[in-house]
Structure formats: structure tokens, C-alpha cells
Amino acid sequence: MVQTVARELQAHAASKKLRLVLDLPPQPVHAHAEELLCYSTIANLLKNALEASPENADVRVTLRGGDDVMLAIRNLGEVPAPVRDSFFAKYATHGKPAGHGLGAYSAQLMARVQRGQLTMASGAGETVLTLRLPLSGEAPATSPAGIPVTADAAPEAAPLPPLSVLLVDDDEYNIVVLKSLLPSPPLSVRTAVNGRAALECVREARPDVIFLDVEMPVMGGIEALQAIRALQAERGEPPSL
């Protein structure tokens, strides 16, 4: 699951020229926990670390087994001293005008409900988030390769044309769900984690349809839409839907 989240966030890291460094044990470590909650927690913490890190730096993810499962995510940059004590408080936010202050709060709740613990340490130029979960002595029946998403059977509909689609959202779980609902083929689906990455995708190849989130780090949806429209007009291309 750690590898899956890191792979899905690679585009986000690349947009800031960050290097994701995974320090994983040679054999899988299994936590006694719920897959969807773990995925959401890991994606939330790693995405926040990428957003908080300065460009051209390393973000390190360390996983260890022992008495419990320990996952540590380390990035350069310190949490401002005045907000450290309220880091996990509901609605606490700093430096993100569009932030709602629920990310760290919900991540800590998800750790607690799984009989785990989430802590933060910041100082000496870096910040470390440490997640601890109960160790499971048994491997799951099937190794998780991501979050399985199944849609209810839909009524028969007219076949879709072979369109190219670009999904743009900084929430990896939203991307997973949307991709599962878009049949490929006939659709050709690409993804981007923020407006800057979306603009680069459009430079490479014009998508027929763009699903564009509005509030995203690095470059938001409105700014990205304006840049995409300007680029397509400059090239004489019809605007994407």
C-alpha cells in the first residue's frame, strides 16, 4: 500500500522536483487495520509532506515492523512553533488559504479508530509524522495493489466514443474512484495531481474532456483552466470540454 500511494503521488512530487525515498523492509509488513482507512491516512500524510516540503528536496518514507507497524514520513521544513500544539486540532490550518484544517485531524482519528497512534515532531529543520498500528501476524488473503473500488451494475447505455480524458484532483482517492467509473477502453484516461501538472499534460496532448478540481496546491483549478484555454487558443485547438 505504501508503494501504491507513493506511485500515485509521483506526479505531485515531480511537479515540485521532489524525490520520494522509500525505506521499506525486504518482506511485507502487515498491520491489523482497515485497508481503506490506511490508504486514506497514508495518502493524506504523504501529500501534506510533499506540499510542505521545499522544492528540490527529499521526502523520506520509512516502514518498520516489530512490536507494532511503524510508518514515518519525513520532510524538510518545520511546522511553525505557534501551531505545533494544535497541529491535530479540528479546523487548525496554517499557510493554506483554501485549507479546512481537517486533514491532520481526520488522519489522527483514523489512526485511533484502528487502535493506533499518529504523532508529529518538528524541529532542526524537518518534520516527521509517525503512524503506529497494531501488527498482524497473518498476511491478507490477497496482497493489496491499491484500493479496490466496485461500482453497482448500471443499466445498459449507449456505447461511449473513444475520447481522451484528463482527471485533475489532488485527492488520490478521488482519482482512484473516478478512474474506476470511466471505462478504459474506449476512454483513454490520464491523471494529474494539480493544475501545473495538468497544464503539462495538455501541452503533451490535447484531451477531449477535462475533469478539473478547483482547490488544489501548486496551481488551482481556475488558474489552470485559464492557462489551458490560453494555450489551446494559441495553438488553434478547439477547447477541451
User: Does this model's pTM top 0.85?
Assistant: no
CATH number of 164-235: 3.40.50.2300
Return the CATH class of domain 2-134.
alpha beta
CATH 3.30.565.10 range(s) for the chain read 2-134
Q: In angstroms, how far is the first alpha carbon of the chain from the final one?
A: 34
The SS3 call for residue 179 is: helix
pLDDT digit string (tens) for the chain, length 241 residues: 899 889 888 888 998 999 999 999 998 899 998 888 888 889 889 988 998 899 999 999 999 998 899 999 999 998 888 888 878 777 656 555 544 456 788 888 888 889 999 999 998 899 999 999 999 876 665 544 444 444 444 455 567 788 999 999 887 767 777 777 778 788 899 989 899 999 999 999 999 999 998 888 888 899 999 999 999 999 999 999 9
**Which grid cell sits at 176?**
482512484
Q: What is the pLDDT of residue 148?
A: 45
| Three-class SS of 52-80 | HCCCCCEEEEEEECCCEEEEEEEEECCCC
CATH 3.40.50.2300 range(s) for the chain read 164-235
Tell me if 55 sits within 8 A of 17, measured CB to CB. yes
Strand order in the sheet with 68-76: 19-23, 58-64, 68-76, 126-134, 117-123
- pLDDT tens for residues 69-88? 999 999 999 888 888 887 87
CA angle 46, 49, 50 (to 5 degrees): 90
Tell me if 85 sits within 8 A of 137, measured CB to CB. no
